[in-house]
Structure 1
Amino acid sequence: MGFRLSFFLFLASLSAICAQEAEDATIVVNGTKAIANTDTNYICATIDWWPPDKCNYNQCPWGSSSIINLDLSHPFLAKAIQAFKRMRIRVGGSLQDEVLYDVGNLKSRCNSFTKAGEVFGFSKGCLHMDRWDQVNYFFNKTGVLVTFGLNALYGRQEITNKVWGGDWDSSNANDFINYTISKGHRIDSWEFGNELSGKGIGASVDAAQYAADLIKLKTIINKLYKNFRPKPLLVAPGGFYDKEWYNKLLQDSGSLVINAMTHHIYNLGAGVDHDLVSKILDPNHLSKISQTFRNLNQTIQTYGPWASAWVGESGGAYNSGARNISDTFVNSFWYLDQLGMAATYDTRVYCRQTLVGGNYGLLDTTTFVPNPDYYSALLWHRLMGKEVISVNSSASPYLRSYAHCSKGRSGIALLLINLSNQTDYNIMVQNSINIDLRVKDKTDENRKSFTHVLKRAVSWVGSKASDGTSFREEYHLTPENGDLQSKTMLLNGNPLQLTDDGDIPSLNPVRVAVNSPMSVPPLSIKFVVFPNFDASCCK
């Protein structure tokens, strides 16, 4: 019986292998000029305000993940952040415009969030200053770059359904910022409001009014930080892109008020959507959001070239994400494609919803053990530099390809994402410089042997060993047991798991001879580093 079962499994695996198709693909990398740039700390994650009784679809996945009740003493949390050396964390979310800061001459009582018939179904909440001190001690210890979202509804009144009017009351924010400075807490950037742009989500504010309030906030920042160099950035509006609204905000706020335009992305739909996996693996669906990146870039170039574009919050699926999808391997196809695509449109920062909390956390809400997307983010952070390089591919849209200068070293890093469930892509990487040379000197090239041409085509890749052989470095990501909804990611066949001491595991590449074949199997992801790639923009 055992023999027959083994033989059956062998035939099944053989059938699966035979069903795969092989496709040759040429990727031409142009390293002569960067097409866009990101911030050094492009990878960002959020910490939200949701209390434990925030529920969607009969699930309550937030636990104690709020900035108010997050267990800052958990060793896994600190180690996960410290692995990035300098990680940006954006504190903000739906309830930030309901938060009171328990400092100064507060005009009302400062109580905890409770279920109520107000914005997003909760009452106003409170941030006590002893907790704020604890949070900042933790951020300082772990090397966090802090972006903090301020309450932009304070002092306003609801005029009609979801439409809020009146001037923003800056007194509580002023006292809070002043306290923050007095305690020596370092804030990289202050963000104004959350999802109040356009028609808003829980509430909306007119763009002209919002611009006037931003000018007021900028004046406060400049006054309170007058002896600081550099001063914290002012970023806004932290909402969904609405062309007319965003255009007017930049026009009315004027030159150098907004340092970064933040927008939110949830392009996969609701967390309960039964088609989420198919959307994640559909290149046409993934590409639709590129129009938003393009439009925001045009808005900034036309009305505010002093500002940069940030994705201030992005979780893929909204309403807390999707259990057993947002926290599994399959989500990395969406997440890494987002990071690659956004960077090509000059997005400087990309904040993932969330670091911990909901179903889309980089870390498990209960155990703080990293989910697969955590390792995807860490690999990007360690391998992909600021300069974005042009890539042209002959492959079908199911092979997504992005290139950057390598981070902290010479050469380039290439990200390859295979969305196909049956095509194994055999990749040839070419340098546009060498292609141009061959075109210009075609007669001479024809006289040379195939070996010499191949050597010339790949002479810019790899680290040279003592025998003169060149290498490339590969980081191949697959799900455990081939299960796309596995919570365990494999790196070059080895499971990524915390060490016995709770440390982040080493993320070591496989070194491969540069002239050996390179492939990206179906439904897998590969980072490839070419240390000696001849890219003038990376020097």
Structure 2
Amino acid sequence: MDVKVSLCYLVLLLFSLSSAEDVKLVVKGVTSIAITDNNFICATLDWWPANKCNYGDCPWGQTGILNLDLNNKILTNAIKAFNPLRIRLGGSVEDQIVYQFGKQKKCPHFKKKEGGLFGFSTVCLPKKRWDEVHDFFNKTGVKLIFGLNALTGKKNSVEDKLNWVGNWNPKNAISLMKYTISKGYKIDSYELGNELCAEGIGARVDSVQYAKDITRLRHIVNLLYPDASRRPKVLGPGGFYGKEWFQSFLLNVAPGVVDGVTHHIYNLGAGVDKDLINKIQDPYYLSQVAETFKSVAQAVKEFTPWAAPWVGEAGGAYNSGSKDVSHTFVNGFWYLDQLGMTSTLNHKVYCRQTLAGGNYGLLNTTTFIPNPDIMAILWHRLMGSKVLLVSHEGSPFLRAYAHCSKKGPGVTVLLINMSNSTTFNVSLVDDMNLYPILKTRLEEDKRLCGKNTI
């Protein structure tokens, strides 16, 4: 039979390779083991101002939502190349952003504030900037996720200053939505709040209260967007996974309230960790986070089966990433492996922190010239939504992932060599050759990934 296979092969040569290993790779094309969204690849843009610093490094420059150069041709062309790219506007200070709509007339700028959330004061999204952002996204074909301030109407608990209590006040958000609709601006999804779940980071909201708040958001979205075919999705909670909090939240939302259950991942640790480069190339370390992905997926399946798990933000190393590692080629070992791992574990979307900004941008902070991890565009173009099971009995330093090809019949395989001393001679085996009875049946069905494929 004809064989059509796309191979993405990543290898980093830090040392001389001294040995070779023959590996037989079995791609099981009988059935898919998971389904991703057609636009699985996603990137974020944050609110951080230029004076956001970590460890004496201030890597954000003019990449914040309020000051990003939307006329930059390199930035424009990078986004257009994905055709389309899903972008999430949000981040740590999302829950202290007010919008210059409705009764919100004053529009304050970012200011350092002792005792403020993440050290900054409340800041405003000007109406003019909202217009500029949408004009830019319309020209570049972006599928927009917009994170809403979930703390309006709430106040700090007397007993616990990290805990915010009270009902969400949606008035300012409703004014923004109504204006957005009146201008014909497209929103793919609204997400409520940033990192307010479980233990929280700068602030925390109780799981039952958050379920109540996001239910209110769903009612508002349904009311303002009566045409279900054009209605934005509702996402949440957009924070770090805690089993007890997540299960309580999911138990307290009715069917249809949330479309995507978003969680954040920074499994490499702090950006100043001197062992970061070794973690990135250690398959045993990288595999540890799989338990989180499995647990999230299982919770969603058990409590909200109508929804799907999303990685709403993932930057590898937290606190703006590593200035020596996160923007380099070696970071691709972590990034590509997580794309493969999360898709295998039934996550629909994966949002990389960031498109530009911090040390972990897909694009350079000042020039917008692509960093090596822009190779995610190959995933976007080649990997289809149907995820296939891949197995081999070789070294764990060889990672392998496979999907039905995105365009046309075929299978696309991603191979990652994490060893600095071994090359792998890989031969592909179609499981139809292992199971002739299944082969006959699937040939009649023209195969999962199309006719005449591996």
Classify the secondary structure of the residue corresponding to 2:252.
helix
**CA shift at 1:321, angstroms?**
0.4
Q: Which residue of 2 aligns with 1:351?
A: 351
Q: Deviations over 1:431-457 (max 9, x none)?
A: 11101239999xxxxxxxxxxxxxxxx
Q: Deviations over 1:238-287 (max 9, x none)?
A: 00011111111111111110100000000000000000000000001100
Structure 1 position 386 matched with structure 2 position 385: yes
- Amino acid across the alignment from 1:26: K
Cα 1:440–1:268 shift into 2, 3 Å: closer
Classify the secondary structure of the residue corresponding to 2:29.
strand
C-alpha separation in 2, matches of 1:292 and 1:40: 23
Q: Deviations over 1:378-428 (max 9, x none)?
A: 111111110000001111110000000011111100000000001010111
Structure 1 position 396 matched with structure 2 position 400: no
C-alpha separation in 2, matches of 1:433 and 1:335: 31
Stretches of structure 1 lacking an aligned partner (at least 5 in a row):
1-15, 442-531
- Amino acid across the alignment from 2:394: A
CA contact (8 A) 1:198 1:240 kept: yes
Classify the secondary structure of the residue corresponding to 1:229.
helix
Stretches of structure 2 lacking an aligned partner (at least 5 in a row):
1-14
- Amino acid across the alignment from 2:147: G
Q: Deviations over 1:171-207 (max 9, x none)?
A: 1111111111111110000000000000101100000
CA contact (8 A) 1:412 1:535 kept: no
Structure 1 position 167 matched with structure 2 position 167: yes
CA contact (8 A) 1:411 1:535 kept: no
**CA shift at 1:228, angstroms?**
5.3
C-alpha separation in 2, matches of 1:400 and 1:227: 44
Q: Deviations over 1:155-177 (max 9, x none)?
A: 11011231110111111111111
C-alpha separation in 2, matches of 1:440 and 1:328: 43
Q: Which residue of 2 aligns with 1:222?
A: 222
Q: Which residue of 2 aligns with 1:332?
A: 332
C-alpha separation in 2, matches of 1:77 and 1:203: 33
- Amino acid across the alignment from 2:243: K
Classify the secondary structure of the residue corresponding to 1:103.
coil
Structure 1 position 58 matched with structure 2 position 68: no
C-alpha separation in 1, matches of 2:137 and 2:437: 53
TM-score by length of 2: 0.93
C-alpha separation in 2, matches of 1:434 and 1:281: 34
Which one is further off, 159-168 or 305-314? 159-168
Matches within 5 A, 1:510-529: none
Q: Which runs of 4+ in 1 moved over 3 A?
A: 438-441
Q: Which residue of 2 aligns with 1:368?
A: 368
CA contact (8 A) 1:101 1:173 kept: yes
CA contact (8 A) 1:42 1:350 kept: yes
CA contact (8 A) 2:433 2:439 kept: no
Classify the secondary structure of the residue corresponding to 1:420.
coil
Classify the secondary structure of the residue corresponding to 2:230.
coil
Structure 1 position 110 matched with structure 2 position 126: no
C-alpha separation in 2, matches of 1:109 and 1:291: 46
Between Structure 1 and Structure 2, how many residues are aligned? 431
- Amino acid across the alignment from 2:342: A
Structure 1 position 91 matched with structure 2 position 89: yes
CA contact (8 A) 1:158 1:165 kept: yes
**CA shift at 1:70, angstroms?**
0.1
Classify the secondary structure of the residue corresponding to 1:34.
coil
Matches within 5 A, 1:127-138: 127-138=125-136
Q: Which residue of 1 aligns with 2:118?
A: 120
C-alpha separation in 1, matches of 2:23 and 2:299: 35
Classify the secondary structure of the residue corresponding to 1:33.
coil
**CA shift at 1:105, angstroms?**
1.4
Which one is further off, 200-209 or 249-258? 249-258
Q: Which residue of 2 aligns with 1:42?
A: 40
CA RMSD of aligned residues (A): 1.8
**CA shift at 1:535, angstroms?**
8.0
Whichever of the two has the greater Rg, that structure is 1
C-alpha separation in 2, matches of 1:292 and 1:175: 37
Classify the secondary structure of the residue corresponding to 1:538.
coil
Cα 1:438–1:185 shift into 2, 3 Å: closer
**CA shift at 1:110, angstroms?**
2.6
**CA shift at 1:227, angstroms?**
3.6
Classify the secondary structure of the residue corresponding to 2:448.
helix
C-alpha separation in 2, matches of 1:409 and 1:60: 45
Cα 1:535–1:54 shift into 2, 3 Å: farther
Structure 1 position 74 matched with structure 2 position 50: no
- Amino acid across the alignment from 1:277: I
CA contact (8 A) 2:30 2:438 kept: no
C-alpha separation in 2, matches of 1:353 and 1:69: 18
Classify the secondary structure of the residue corresponding to 2:302.
helix
C-alpha separation in 2, matches of 1:61 and 1:232: 33
